[in-house]
Amino acid sequence: MSPNPFFETWTTPYEMPPFDRVETSHFRAAYDAALAAHKAEIAAIVANPAAPDLENTIVAMELAGEALKRVGGVFWNLAGTESTEALRAVEREMSPLLARHFSAIFLDPALFARVDAVFAQRAQADYSPEQMRLLERKHKAFVRAGARLGEAERQRLGAITEELATLGTRFSQNVLKDEAGYVLVLESEDDLAGLPADFCAAAAALATERGHEGKWAVSLARGNVEAFLTHSTRRDLRETLFRHWSARGETGGETDNGAVIARTLSLRAERARLLGYETYADYKLDDTMAQTPDAVRALLDQVWTAGRARAGLEASRLQAMIEAEGGNFELAPHDWRHYAEKLRRAEYAIDDAALRAYFPLDRMIEAAFHVAGELFGLRFEEKHGLPVYNPDVRVFEAKDAQGRHVALFIGDYFARASKRSGAWMSAFRGQQKLARDQRPIIVNVLNIAKPAAGEPALLTIDEARTLFHEFGHALHGMLSDVTYPSLAGTAVSSDFVELPSQLYEHWLLRPEVLRQFALHAQTNEPIPDALIDKVMAARTFNQGFATVEYCASAFVDLEMHLEQGQGAQDPLGFERRVLETIGMPRQIIMRHRSPHFTHIFSGEGYASGYYSYLWSEVLDADAFAAFEETGDIYHPATAKRLRDFIYAAGNLRDPKEAYTGFRGRLPTPDALLEKRGLV
């Protein structure tokens, strides 16, 4: 084994992880040492003979575990982007050990006694608002973890937490195996009917990579699947690809997630009861903006009713198109995107393939950077020669208007078999000012189809929107300006964390941005004003479909976790019953079916919380209106409030207080319904 870089001080520029020296074999030894160090630090806090106070207890916990954060920051990001069987083996091994470690800390009665003592004295202390917020959040974390329970209940809760970690890892690895293990091989040029030239070139490259020289291949990455379903005129092939895509995690073999879901739901329900909540949803939502399942259901019901009505009209029009073409079949889920694109062309004269030529990846990255500059004074400079974990990864330094270093930003844009599907933001290192003024290293991960060598990557509108969405999350991490690590960046409630990302999407389709950055990949000509007008007019096109597929997933998530483990008896049957109850249109499926719903089953971040995107959309629609009302989408005073109260503020305030600080009031769903064209 080569020298373990986790036992060294990193002298790389910006203290970038030395990816060129990190090996899978390093992680277990690094974790063992980091866990031992963290245990010793916590033991020292417990053994401190001085009376508990903010510094020797709460702040001391914030300072502890730096080695563990460093190892974990690298490991978990590589596990999601550069997965190998060896790395997955470490993940399966470490997930329960880490869960056990942190559970033991939060269930340590002696440690909680110190935390509780500091909390009890808070009214008499002269704490700053940030110190008070830290204390309140830390105390609540202990209570929600079970610190007030008796010994037997604490032991059971620890065992549940450990098993859930194992199940979450197994779930995500099963989905990844299903996605990586299948490609639709296209045997002849007849199988390419309707597909854009750049898609075919990328499919040929993938086929060669997968050992099908001279043919074409389509992977199960969402971008690839949606492009194929949109453009392919081969209905039989659309159905084949769709069947495999929608059945990820439901194979009946070793990667089947049915039993994993069942056990997960049962354990979550048991944990909620141990903690004094009627259901897991009640437990999870108690620490969010929504607070109660009733509040979530009320929002979902309101949007679902309007969305389903619109989807019904959309389905009728698509069916009429099928019949007008002489098709003797009923519109099915694998048909919807194809005929919706045809209808969009007919109504708005927008050709998706032609439109994509104006959205090359490089230009969209520039556009995202430009908006950040106009709003927040940031400037981005690409850095070469830094260690990276994959040759396709790009690194940029973010500087402020005075030229000072703000953060490193890593862009990992292309799909590959070793990367889990979807798109996300994460951090190799977070921001803090406690131990030192530590600036963050933030990563955006997307799954855009890699183009053939020498060709530009062309994005759909949805892919460009995803790029802006994830960059909004990245800005939330990069602009963070708080003292304590546990309050920094995106460490906010799940139904507030999507506000910075969804709000940022609004700038993508502004004419001011499109005219400057939507330049044709071949001619470099700007997108014509007439095409901008068509894009703007089509913004609410197909919103019934989008609303239904999203809300259906949110309903299933909520209802599964409102059951006291009853859904665990037959999760897929329960999914069907929920969809029947809400009146799910037969021509649409959930955006994320339960067997591959990694948002809620590969961890607990969005469990009972997939509604969060909709909740945050209420906020983002109203928040962008704050700029529109000024007549300036970069209005300096509004942008400053946005930075101060949202992007830079981490978890310094309750989310409602933070939003009110920015906007002066809380929003209503009206702006959301208008944005989606549902009113």
Claim to verify: residue 129 and residue 187 sit in the same structural domain: no
Strands 405-414 and 441-448: parallel
Give the domain CATH number at 79. 1.20.1050.40
With a cut of 80, say whether residue 613 has pLDDT above it.
Answer: yes
Claim to verify: residue 209 and residue 97 sit in the same structural domain: no
Claim to verify: residue 16 and residue 90 sit in the same structural domain: yes
CA angle, residues 293, 138, 563, in degrees to nearest 5: 25
* pLDDT tier for residue 668 given thresholds of 50, 70 and 90: confident
**pLDDT tens per residue across span 91-119:** 999 999 999 999 999 999 999 999 999 99
**pLDDT tens per residue across span 135-182:** 999 999 999 999 999 999 999 999 999 999 999 999 999 999 999 999
Q: What is the pLDDT of residue 359?
A: 97
Query: For this structure, is 470 an active site residue?
Result: yes
User: Has residue 51 been placed in a domain?
Assistant: yes
The domain boundary, picked from 246, 280, 298, lies at: 246
Plot region of 291 (φ>0 → left; ψ -120 to 50 → alpha; else → beta): left
DSSP 439: P
Closest alpha carbon to 174 in 234, 277, 268, 253:
253
Q: What is the pLDDT of residue 43?
A: 98
Return the biggest CA–CA distance within the chain.
Answer: 84
- Per the DSSP assignment, residues forming a β-bridge with 318 are none
Give the Cα separation of 484 and 475 in Å (integer). 18
Claim to verify: residue 14 and residue 69 sit in the same structural domain: yes
If one compares 643 and 223, the residue with the highest pLDDT of the two is 643
Claim to verify: residue 191 and residue 134 sit in the same structural domain: no
* pLDDT tier for residue 679 given thresholds of 50, 70 and 90: confident
Burial classification of residue 29, based on how many CB atoms lie within 10 Å of its CB (0-12 exposed, 13-18 middle, 19 or more buried): middle
- Count structural domains, the chain: 2
Give the Cα separation of 526 and 518 in Å (integer). 6
User: Has residue 224 been placed in a domain?
Assistant: yes
- Per the DSSP assignment, residues forming a β-bridge with 394 are 411
Q: How many CB atoms lie within 10 A of CB 155?
A: 14
Written as six digits, the tokens of 278 are 């009627």
User: Has residue 210 been placed in a domain?
Assistant: yes
Q: Where are the beta strands (DSSP E) in 36-102?
A: none
**pLDDT tens per residue across span 503-533:** 999 999 999 999 999 999 999 999 999 999 9
Written as six digits, the tokens of 617 are 């959309």
Give the Cα separation of 520 and 609 in Å (integer). 39
- The 3 state secondary structure assigned to 183-221 is EEEECCHHHHCCCCHHHHHHHHHHHHHCCCCCCEEEECC
Q: What is the mean pLDDT of residues 611-619?
A: 95
With a cut of 90, say whether residue 353 has pLDDT above it.
Answer: no
- Per the DSSP assignment, residues forming a β-bridge with 184 are 218
Strands 405-414 and 379-383: unpaired
Closest alpha carbon to 607 in 293, 345, 368, 358:
293
* pLDDT tier for residue 467 given thresholds of 50, 70 and 90: very high
Q: What is the pLDDT of residue 565?
A: 64
With a cut of 70, say whether residue 134 has pLDDT above it.
Answer: yes
Q: What is the mean pLDDT of residues 390-417?
A: 97
With a cut of 90, say whether residue 634 has pLDDT above it.
Answer: yes
* pLDDT tier for residue 54 given thresholds of 50, 70 and 90: very high
Contact of 405 with 397, CB cutoff 8 Å: yes
Q: What is the mean pLDDT of residues 310-317?
A: 98
Q: Tell me the residue range of the domain where 140 lies.
A: 5-106+108-148
User: Has residue 205 been placed in a domain?
Assistant: yes
Give the Cα separation of 278 and 274 in Å (integer). 9
Plot region of 583 (φ>0 → left; ψ -120 to 50 → alpha; else → beta): left
Query: Tokens 């098709």 label which residue?
Result: 327
What percent of the chain is predicted at pLDDT more than 70?
A: 99
The domain boundary, picked from 205, 224, 246, lies at: 246
User: Has residue 332 been placed in a domain?
Assistant: no
Claim to verify: residue 9 and residue 130 sit in the same structural domain: yes
With a cut of 80, say whether residue 1 has pLDDT above it.
Answer: no
Give the Cα separation of 458 and 227 in Å (integer). 12
With a cut of 90, say whether residue 75 has pLDDT above it.
Answer: yes
**pLDDT tens per residue across span 184-207:** 999 999 999 999 999 999 999 999
Local structure of 605: helix, strand or coil: coil
Phi and psi at 185, nearest 5°, equal -90, 125
Catalytic pick from 179, 250, 470, 498?
470
**pLDDT tens per residue across span 556-612:** 999 999 986 666 788 999 999 999 999 999 999 999 999 999 999 999 989 999 999
Q: Who's near 32: CB < 8 A, 6+ residues apart?
A: none
Give the Cα separation of 263 and 484 in Å (integer). 36
User: Has residue 95 been placed in a domain?
Assistant: yes
Claim to verify: residue 21 and residue 118 sit in the same structural domain: yes
Claim to verify: residue 78 and residue 136 sit in the same structural domain: yes
Claim to verify: residue 139 and residue 241 sit in the same structural domain: no
User: Has residue 211 been placed in a domain?
Assistant: yes
* DSSP assignments along 88-146, one per residue: HHHHHHHHHHHHHHHHHHHT-HHHHHHHHHHHHTGGGS---HHHHHHHHHHHHHHHHHT
DSSP 101: H
User: Has residue 637 been placed in a domain?
Assistant: no
Local structure of 359: helix, strand or coil: coil
Claim to verify: residue 16 and residue 130 sit in the same structural domain: yes
The domain boundary, picked from 246, 275, 293, lies at: 246
Q: How many CB atoms lie within 10 A of CB 190?
A: 9
Claim to verify: residue 17 and residue 113 sit in the same structural domain: yes
Give the Cα separation of 428 and 438 in Å (integer). 12
CA angle, residues 401, 407, 408, in degrees to nearest 5: 125
Q: Where are the beta strands (DSSP E) in 300-440?
A: 379-383, 394-399, 405-414, 424-429
Count of all residues that appear for the chain in the document: 679
Q: How many CB atoms lie within 10 A of CB 673?
A: 19
Q: Who's near 153: CB < 8 A, 6+ residues apart?
A: 146, 274
Written as six digits, the tokens of 576 are 């069907």
Closest alpha carbon to 337 in 203, 459, 233, 201:
233
Claim to verify: residue 142 and residue 235 sit in the same structural domain: no
Closest alpha carbon to 584 in 611, 544, 624:
544
Q: What is the pLDDT of residue 206?
A: 94
